[in-house]
Amino acid sequence: MENKVAQRQLLRWKRAQIDPVELGWPLRTGRGRRTSGLSQAQVAQALFVSERTYADLERGEIASPTAELLDSVAKVLRMNESERAAMYVYSLGHQPPTPMDPMAGTTVYPAWHQAVRTVTGQPCFIVDVAWNVLAANDEFIHMFPQTPGGPVALPERNLMRWMLLREEAREHHLVNWEKEWAPAAASQLRTAVAAHPDNEDLQRLDREIYEDPVVGPIYRNPSMDYVHPDGDACPVRHAGFTNTVRVSSEQDRCCDKHAPSQFGMVTMCVAQPLASPGARFIFLVFTPASPPSGHKAAR
C-alpha cells in the first residue's frame, strides 16, 4: 500500500470516530451531510488552517508537512501514540522525535511487570525514561553487591543515580567504571535530558550529576555521542551468579564489606515497550570470566 493511501485511510478513519457535537458543533438536523464523524472542513477549522490545506494533507499531497501541523492533527483527531507515529511515517518517512504525551515512558502495562518477574536464567528489568526501575526479576536484584547477612534488594530505585553517583557502583560493581561505564551512561543521560525537558526526575539527575566532583567532569564532556547500550558488553561483578559452568577463576570478594561475587562480562539487549516510548526493557546476558591481570580483589 502506498503511503498516500495509508495516510488517507488513517485520517478518514479517525475523523469518522469523532462526533462533531463533542467539539462544539451543533447537532445536525434536517437535510445535509449524513456521513458520521467530522468533515474535512470541521477538522480544518479546528486546526485553524484552510480546508484545502487539510484536504491536501489527508490525500498525502503535502510533501513535507511540519511537525506542528501533524501534532495538531493528532490532538484534534485524538490519536494515540501508535496512530500518531503511523501518521508521521506516512507523511515524513520517520517516527516522531518525541512522544505526544509528556508522561509517556513513565509507566508500562501491568502485563510487563508480570512478564519480567517470571523470567529466569538471566537478569532483566524495565526502566522508565528517567531510569527509574519499574519492574525487575530476581536475577537482576541479586546482581548487586550484597552485604553478608543483609537483605537482598535493589540499592535504589533510580538506576542512573546508582550507576553514576554511588561508591559501590563506581568502585566495586561496575568494573573499569571510569572508562567503560561512566562515559556511556553520562552521554545517555545528556540525550534524555535534552529530549524530555519537562521530566522532573531527569532534571534532578542532571543537576546532581553535573555538580558531582567525580562524575561531573565526565558528564560535562560532550565528546561522546551515545544514545543506547543495545549490544554493548561491559565488565561487571555479579553477586548472585551461581557457578554452574567451570571457569578459570572462582568467585572472590571485591572488598571486605561485600560477599563474594563473580567477575564477568554483561551484554545488554535493549528493547522498547511500544506503548510506552522512552521506557526500556533490558535483558542482561552474563558471561563469567577470569578477572584481567592487575585486577584487585579482597581475599
Ranges of each domain in the chain: 3-92, 110-288
pLDDT band for position 265 (50/70/90)? very high
- Considering only CA atoms, which of 284, 285, 283, 280 is closest in space to residue 126? 280
Asked whether the predicted pLDDT for residue 49 surpasses 50, the reply is: yes
Helix or strand (DSSP H, E) at 136? strand 133-136
As a whole number, the mean pLDDT across the chain is 86
Instruction: Determine the Cα–Cα distance for residues 7 and 261; give it in Å rounded to an integer.
Output: 55
**What grid cell was written down for 61?**
499531497
Each residue's pLDDT tens digit, 65-77: 999 999 999 999 9
Q: Span 288-295, mean pLDDT?
A: 72
Each residue's pLDDT tens digit, 26-36: 766 556 555 67
Q: Report the chain's C-alpha Rg in angstroms.
A: 25
Each residue's pLDDT tens digit, 158-205: 999 999 999 999 998 999 999 999 999 999 999 888 888 888 999 999
What would be the CATH architecture of the domain defined by 110-288? 2-Layer Sandwich (3.30)
Please give the CATH number for the structural domain made up of 3-92.
1.10.260.40
Is residue 70 within 8 Å of 237, Cβ to Cβ? no
Instruction: Determine the Cα–Cα distance for residues 212 and 190; give it in Å rounded to an integer.
Output: 15
Q: For the chain, give the percent of residues with pLDDT over 90.
A: 57
- Full DSSP string of 149-177: TS----S-SBHHHHHHH-HHIIIIIBTTI
Q: Edge to edge, what strands does the sheet with 133-136 contain? A: 133-136, 124-127, 280-288, 262-271, 233-238
Q: What does pTM read for this prediction?
A: 0.73
